[in-house]
């Protein structure tokens, strides 16, 4: 669980979501949105990862030189509740320690746009985390992107599979940008610094 055991080991950053254009702007797909922005920042394009049910981008985050970190950005293409399988296969392929895995995902119990970073913990009913924990244990990092609770009596499943509202979309780019910053800070400067800067 100690992320300092092998600083040269790559980081696997998993944006969680569902594949397909019909899901692209869903609240449940905010992990994909953050992964897409990170890929853009490192100048890469997502490509199919061999036999794994996932798309990947390889690159480096951080300033040129010894301060940069090798990263593998991943978008599982297996649907949310089966995210763990492709991620575990890629973890084995790239020889990534669990402490160098980051899941970026939507979080119902946090207000919209609020970020919380942590290492380990439960899945809080999130099917993507549930699938990851089943195959690799709970000791990976999470960047939790708040989407708030469903209004009225709307079911959770309906809420997360709906697009962000028009009001939410006005600030969505800013919040996704901030979440990408938080991922970079976590990878380069460590969890404590990232929590101090981005947890709210």
34-57 confidence digits (pLDDT tens):
999 999 999 999 999 877 899 999
Beta carbons of 94 and 12 less than 8 angstroms apart: yes
Query: Per the residue annotation, which of 28, 100, 126, 141 is the catalytic one?
Result: 28
- E strand intervals along 24-96: 47-48, 54-61, 69-76
pLDDT at 62: 87
The per-residue pLDDT of the chain, averaged, comes to 94
Beta carbons of 73 and 38 less than 8 angstroms apart: yes
Beta carbons of 135 and 86 less than 8 angstroms apart: no
Structure-model confidence comparison of residues 200 and 147, the more confident one:
147
pLDDT at 5: 53
User: Over 80: is that where the pLDDT of 1 sits?
Assistant: no
d(CA 178, CA 128): 22
Q: How far is CA 79 from CA 64, 75, 82, 85, 172, in A?
A: 35, 10, 6, 11, 23
pLDDT at 51: 79
User: Over 50: is that where the pLDDT of 161 sits?
Assistant: yes
The contacts found for 147-151 with CB under 8 angstroms, 24 or more apart, are: 147/27, 147/30, 147/106, 147/107, 147/108, 147/110, 147/112, 148/108, 148/110, 148/111, 148/112, 149/108, 149/109, 150/108
Share of the chain above pLDDT 90, in %: 89
Q: pLDDT tens for residues 60-89? A: 998 888 889 999 999 999 999 999 999 999
Choose the weakest-confidence range: 24-38, 51-65, 169-183: 51-65
Q: Which two tokens stand for residue 8?
A: 């040269």
Beta carbons of 90 and 103 less than 8 angstroms apart: no
Residue 28 is among the residues annotated as catalytic for this protein = yes
């Amino acid at each position: 669980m100690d992320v300092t055991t092998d600083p040269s080991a790559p980081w696997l950053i998993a944006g969680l979501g569902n594949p397909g254009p019909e899901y692209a702007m869903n609240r449940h797909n905010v992990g994909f949105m953050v992964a897409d922005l990170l890929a853009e920042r490192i100048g890469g394009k997502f490509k199919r990862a061999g036999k794994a049910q996932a798309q990947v981008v390889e690159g480096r985050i951080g300033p040129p030189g010894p301060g940069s970190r090798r990263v593998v950005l991943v978008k599982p293409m297996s649907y949310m509740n089966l995210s763990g399988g492709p991620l575990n296969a890629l973890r084995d392929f790239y020889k990534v320690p669990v402490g160098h895995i980051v899941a970026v995902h939507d979080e119902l119990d946090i207000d919209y746009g609020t970020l919380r970073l942590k290492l380990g913990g439960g899945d809080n009913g999130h099917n993507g985390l549930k699938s990851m924990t089943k195959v690799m244990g709970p000791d990976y990092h999470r960047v939790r992107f708040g989407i708030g609770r469903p209004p009225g009596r709307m079911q959770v499943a309906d809420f997360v599979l709906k697009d962000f509202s028009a009001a939410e979309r006005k600030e969505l780019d800013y919040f996704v940008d901030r979440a990408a910053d938080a991922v970079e800070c976590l990878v380069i400067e460590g969890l404590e610094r990232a929590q101090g800067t981005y947890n709210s």
